[in-house]
A and B are shown apart, each in its own frame.
Chain A
Amino acid sequence: MTAPLIGEAEAAAPPARRRVPRSVTLLTGCVLAGLVVAVAVVSLFWLPYAPDDTSGDRLMPPGLPHLLGTDKLGRDLLTQLMIGARVALEAGAGSVLIGGVAGLAGGLVAGFATRWMDDALSAFLDILIAFPTVLLAMLVTAARDASLGSAIIAIGLAMSAIVARLARVLVKRVLAQDYITASRTSGTSWPRIVVTHVLPNIWPTLSVNLALQFGLAVLAEASLSYLGLGTPPPNASWGRMLQEAQASVFIAPAGVIAPGVLLVVLVVGVNLIADGVRDVADPTRRRTR
């Protein structure tokens, strides 16, 4: 669990025993997620049509001038998809930022807490986790407006409890180590111990979990948008695109297939990156593969 350990394990692991080289997992993940990131970046500078341009005929099939066809309002599907990529990445990044920061802070506090404080905090985290994300998000969207911001706040909050519970366990594990006692004895302050020992040691495991949470956040935002609680028009979200296209699946199948495929590509990509990083960081998992 310590930072130097990871380096040592790297050297010790016999590369010949790996049936699948780790680079394949990581590389595939980077390519898939990178694809979506590239689309989102391009959408910042160039879009085939304006987002609210309804000049096309309704539900046109793929072809020219609309490469992927149009939706039921005559908007260009490719344009919507590209904006959707941006929205999905914003949802994932925003939620992970909120969930990561709040969760890490909560986990640190709970990790340092002892006896009844620890019990109380653990119980509180368990209760927060008992609220499913979508229910919490509904409450937040009801309190604010249905918007990408509300969805991000809600998903981030729900995520923070999960991250905090993991961080708590990791922090406790580090604090039990002898070198923490040694460090304390030699007069290091707690804040300094957090920065120099705790954070670097919990980061590898935590970052892998955050990557997985990113994928879950993207899916949660899509679900919320599908239920009409997420990103409002004219900003396209893949979830809302799917909901709108559901009724016309036979006339315009592209509208149902394309956003779903992109969602899967993004989430699989991020999950593969997480797996790849974990395999590099954790030799015990690598050996079992």
Chain B
Amino acid sequence: MTAYLLRRTALLVVSLLLAGMVLFLLLRLLPGDPANSLLSVGATPDQIAAARHQIGSDRPLPEQFASWLGQMAALDLGASFVSTLPVGPEIASRLVVTVPLTLLAFLLAVVIAVPVGFLAAHRAGTWYGSLLSALSQLGVAVPVFWVGMLLITVFSLSLGLLPAGGFPQDDWASPADALTSLTLPVVTVALVMSASLIRYVRSATLDVLGADYLRTARALGSSFTRAMWRHGLRNAVVPVVSILGIELATTFLGAVVVESVFALPGLGSMLVKGFAQHDYPVIQGVLVVSTLGVLLIGFAADVVQRLIDPRLRRSLAREAG
């Protein structure tokens, strides 16, 4: 396990470096010098040169990348070209919205998907097994922002039960208010996420239900519940955990889009604004943080999968030894 952890951590570091390089290059390939955002329309060449020098965009790319990496390692994400405020604290204040939104939506999606997916598999062929499958089929095809719009229409505009958007100025000072304004966004993301999750849980359960060891356990006299609990669950969980990592990353992405629907001051809206203003430090800060998040989630999912499935651990021990 230690050998695996070391190797997986090394891969994580390499991935981070590569991802950083890709991000850096992509951002620098954008047209329009970042210095433009410091200048007014009729800037003289001297002013342009001064602005470029101030920002550092007149230096060669490798040099820029090296100094950029140094900054990232020191957790210095730079300052916004537009507001001149440091990006790091701004991102931190945005994470207060995006992280709870992502995690709550993810949890709700899992809570919906696991029992529904299990039932859809266990009762495959009956009318409500088919109904559950059909509903998840529908859910996979629905654009997340449309669900948000429909929920706003019903629960905010028609029934007036929940706010249509926005977030309390004082963030989580009153948790009830914050949760109220996150309710609809969370439900929106969770509904869409759970649809694809249901399909994975269903197919993982179907695999287990058809497995020989489960039939053997039943033949030896275990009740269905007991056989499922002792043998089925552990096996069904492995592919689902590996999917969960990807799903969590996708949930985050759904959150980015849904933030625009509900006018939430999260990472997503920060990113959209950053693009509109060609604000490189903002864009790169958000992308660095979100890429880091996605890679860490993948890392965690891989490690958890090893812990759950001894077969993977053993095959690795053979590999290492």
Q: In the bound complex, what is the Cα–Cα distance between A138 and B29 (angstroms)?
A: 13
CB neighbours (8 Å) of B140 from chain A are 215, 267, 271
Would you call B145 and A226 a contact (CB within 8 A)?
Answer: yes
- Which stretch in B13-21, B80-88, B213-221, B229-237 binds the other chain? B13-21
Would you call A142 and B18 a contact (CB within 8 A)?
Answer: no
User: Pick the contact of A20 from B130, B249, B298 — CB < 8 Å?
Assistant: B130
CB neighbours (8 Å) of B209 from chain A are 288
Interface flag for B149 (CB, 8 Å): yes
Would you call B256 and A263 a contact (CB within 8 A)?
Answer: no
Q: In the bound complex, what is the Cα–Cα distance between A289 and B209 (angstroms)?
A: 12
CB neighbours (8 Å) of B256 from chain A are 132, 134-135
Would you call B290 and A135 a contact (CB within 8 A)?
Answer: yes
CB neighbours (8 Å) of A209 from chain B are none
Interface string of A216-242 (1 = CB under 8 A from B): 000100110011010000000001001
Interface flag for A139 (CB, 8 Å): yes
Interface string of A116-139 (1 = CB under 8 A from B): 000000011011101111110011
Q: In the bound complex, what is the Cα–Cα distance between A123 and B260 (angstroms)?
A: 32
- CB nearest neighbor in B for A256: B149
With contacts A271-B141, A272-B137 taken as known, whether A134 is within 8 angstroms of B294 at the C-beta atoms is no
- CB nearest neighbor in B for A275: B137
Interface flag for B73 (CB, 8 Å): no
Would you call A19 and B125 a contact (CB within 8 A)?
Answer: yes
Chain A: how many interface residues by the 8 Å CB criterion?
Answer: 42
Would you call A288 and B124 a contact (CB within 8 A)?
Answer: yes
Interface flag for B275 (CB, 8 Å): yes
Distance in Å: Cβ of A129 to nearest Cβ of chain B: 8
Interface flag for B210 (CB, 8 Å): yes
Q: Which of A20, A123, A288 has most chain B Cβ within 10 Å?
A: A288
Q: In the bound complex, what is the Cα–Cα distance between A143 and B130 (angstroms)?
A: 46
Would you call B260 and A227 a contact (CB within 8 A)?
Answer: yes
Distance in Å: Cβ of B10 to nearest Cβ of chain A: 10
Interface flag for B114 (CB, 8 Å): no
With contacts A123-B11, A226-B260, A263-B146 taken as known, whether A142 is within 8 angstroms of B275 at the C-beta atoms is yes
Would you call B141 and A264 a contact (CB within 8 A)?
Answer: yes
- CB nearest neighbor in B for A216: B140
The secondary-structure label for the interface of chain B is helix
Sorting the interface of chain B by its residue count into under 10, 10 to 19, 20 to 34 or 35 or more gives: 35 or more
User: Pick the contact of B144 from A143, A223, A229 — CB < 8 Å?
Assistant: A223
User: Pick the contact of A123 from B15, B125, B130, B143 — CB < 8 Å?
Assistant: B15
Interface flag for B178 (CB, 8 Å): no
Interface flag for B243 (CB, 8 Å): no
Interface flag for B282 (CB, 8 Å): no
- CB nearest neighbor in A for B121: A288
Interface flag for A250 (CB, 8 Å): yes
Q: In the bound complex, what is the Cα–Cα distance between A135 and B209 (angstroms)?
A: 39
Would you call A249 and B15 a contact (CB within 8 A)?
Answer: no
CB neighbours (8 Å) of B249 from chain A are 130, 132
Interface flag for B112 (CB, 8 Å): no
With contacts A123-B14, A288-B124 taken as known, whether A142 is within 8 angstroms of B19 at the C-beta atoms is no
Would you call B137 and A271 a contact (CB within 8 A)?
Answer: yes
Q: Which of A19, A142, A215, A263 has most chain B Cβ within 10 Å?
A: A142
Interface flag for B305 (CB, 8 Å): no
- CB nearest neighbor in A for B27: A139
Interface flag for B228 (CB, 8 Å): no
Q: In the bound complex, what is the Cα–Cα distance between A256 and B143 (angstroms)?
A: 12
CB neighbours (8 Å) of A215 from chain B are 140-141
With contacts A132-B249, A132-B253, A226-B257 taken as known, whether A127 is within 8 angstroms of B142 at the C-beta atoms is no
Distance in Å: Cβ of A216 to nearest Cβ of chain B: 9
Interface flag for A101 (CB, 8 Å): no
CB neighbours (8 Å) of B287 from chain A are 135
Smallest CB-CB A-B distances: 5 pairs: A267-B141, A132-B253, A260-B146, A268-B141, A130-B294
Interface residue ranges, B against A (CB under 8 Å) = 11, 14-15, 18-19, 22, 26-27, 29-31, 124-125, 130, 137-138, 140-146, 149-150, 153, 157, 206-207, 209-210, 249-250, 252-253, 256-257, 260, 271-272, 275, 278, 283, 287, 290-291, 294-295, 298
Given A135-B253, A264-B141, A268-B137, 12 additional A-B pairs, CB 8 A: A123-B18, A132-B253, A133-B253, A142-B275, A142-B283, A222-B143, A222-B145, A223-B143, A227-B260, A227-B272, A263-B141, A288-B209
Interface residue ranges, A against B (CB under 8 Å) = 19-20, 123-124, 126-128, 130-135, 138-139, 141-143, 215, 219, 222-223, 226-227, 229, 239, 242, 246, 249-250, 256, 260, 263-264, 267-268, 271-272, 275, 287-289
- A-B CB contact pairs (8 Å), 14 listed: A128-B22, A130-B15, A132-B253, A132-B294, A139-B30, A215-B141, A223-B143, A226-B145, A249-B157, A264-B141, A271-B137, A275-B137, A288-B209, A289-B125
